[in-house]
Amino acid sequence: MNFRIFSIQQPASSIQYLNRHSFSKSNFSPTFAPMLNRLKQKWKVNGWQLTIILVVFALGGSLCGWLGRKLLGLFDIDQTAFRITLYIVLVTLLWPFCVIIISIPFGQFPFFWNYLKKIFRRFGGGARNNHR
C-alpha cells in the first residue's frame, strides 16, 4: 500500500516559482513597506542606513541572547522560574552594551548612542530638565 498524505508539486521553472512566491504578491510588501518608510522618516535616515540599523539591532540582540545564555550557564540554577527571570534581567542589562558594541564596526555608533540616551531618559535613567 502506498499512502500519500501530501503531494508536492515542483514548478516547471524557477521563474514560475518566483512569480508564485514573490513578496510583491504577498502581504509582506503592503504590511512592512509603510512601516519601514515611517521608520526612515522618524529616524531621518535613508534606505541603506535603515538596513544597516536593522542589521545592528538583529546582531546586537543575537549577541545579547548568546551572552545571556553563556552567563546563565555559569550558575547552577535548577529552578526554571528563577532561571527564566534571571535570564530576562541579564538580557535587559546586556542589550544596550551589545548594541553599542555591534554599532561601532557598522558605523552607526552616533545613531545608537542617541537612541539609547533617549530610551534611558524615558525610563528615568537620564537627568531631566523639569526640576524647578
Q: What is the structure's pLDDT at 22?
A: 47
pLDDT digits (tens, 9 = 90+) for 37-81: 999 999 999 989 999 999 999 999 999 999 999 998 888 887 888
DSSP 7-73: --PPPSSHHHHHHHH-GGGSSHHHHHHHHHHHHHHHHT--HHHHHHHHHHHHHHHHHHHHHHHHHHH
pLDDT digits (tens, 9 = 90+) for 83-125: 899 999 999 999 999 999 999 999 999 999 999 999 989 888 6
Q: What is the structure's pLDDT at 75?
A: 81
Q: What is the structure's pLDDT at 33?
A: 84
Domain boundaries, the chain: 34-117
Q: What is the structure's pLDDT at 105?
A: 96
Q: What global pTM score does this model have?
A: 0.68
- Decide: 96 and 117 in contact? Cβ < 8 Å: no
Q: What is the structure's pLDDT at 132?
A: 43
Amino acid at 50: L
Q: Report the alpha-carbon distance of residue 129 to residue 127 in Å, rounded.
A: 7
